[in-house]
Amino acid sequence: MDLTTLPVVGPLLHSGADLLAATAAALSPVAGGFAAATAVVLLTLAVRAVLVPLAVLQVRAERDRRRLAPRIAALRKRYGTDTERLRRAMQELYTSEHVSPLAGCLPVLAQAPVLSLVYTLFTHASIDGVANTLLGATLLGVPLGHSLVVTLTSPLWQHAWVVLVLLAVLAVVVEATRRANLRWNPAAVPDPAAPGAAASVAIGRYAPFLTVVFAAIAPLAAALYVVTSAAWTLGERAVLRRVLG
């Protein structure tokens, strides 16, 4: 079954495709061959601008968790391996201090539908039976619907450097964000003797780079969205942490 033909999904995708196509057409006299890619970047910036209030909540939640870190460490020491009592105690602490442990996830969750929309728009040849003209858009010779894997295995492999440069930029931004997060809210160092301590450290160190893996297998348009959003996040948090910290 083609998901783009569903009653709700089809019109939503049509609206998204029309919006991107119209934006690209408006930008074409100025941006030329970069019009479609620029439209995706502008869409990303618009979404992130709308989500600034959620980012404020996220930074405030991070600040509150940093303030509560000594009390949380004391609870961990007190309850040890009794995970159920520790969970209840931490929940009571968050409730009494009016801190939401989920606030930090809000910007990511809010972006998920938009990223899914961009991903879908550039992976379907037709939308509700209508030819998808967005697939004809390119960035420096690479179709916006091509992933790194597809580009490398196609006659356009010599243009794969475009995607590789984009992924390199994303990796730098992800690492800078990870280090900034550690400076702002240092993670507790697990006891090396504790079970799973090494795995926990490894996950914390490398999990952020799953974003790069996703960008490598996603259409170039989705990768552009991810890179733009990641760069926005890095700058946005630097500003908000200075203002709210």
What whole-number distance in Å separates Cα of residue 222 and Cα of residue 118?
6
What whole-number distance in Å separates Cα of residue 52 and Cα of residue 35?
26
pLDDT over 70 (residue 5): no
pLDDT tens for each residue of 40-75: 999 999 999 999 998 998 888 888 878 887 888 888
| DSSP-derived 3-state class of residue 139 | strand
pLDDT over 70 (residue 243): yes
CB burial of 23-57 (b: ≥16 within 10 Å; e: otherwise) equals bbeebeeeeeebbbbbbbbebbeebbeebeebbbb
* Confidence (pLDDT) at 192: 55
Nearest in space to 150 (alpha carbons), one of 231, 71, 54, 217: 217
* Listed range (91-100, 160-169, 183-192) with the worst mean pLDDT: 183-192
* Confidence (pLDDT) at 4: 60
* Confidence (pLDDT) at 188: 55
* Confidence (pLDDT) at 168: 97
> What mean pLDDT is reported for the chain?
85
- What is the pTM (predicted TM-score) of this model? 0.84
* Confidence (pLDDT) at 144: 94
* Domain spans in the chain, listed from the N-terminal domain onward: 3-244
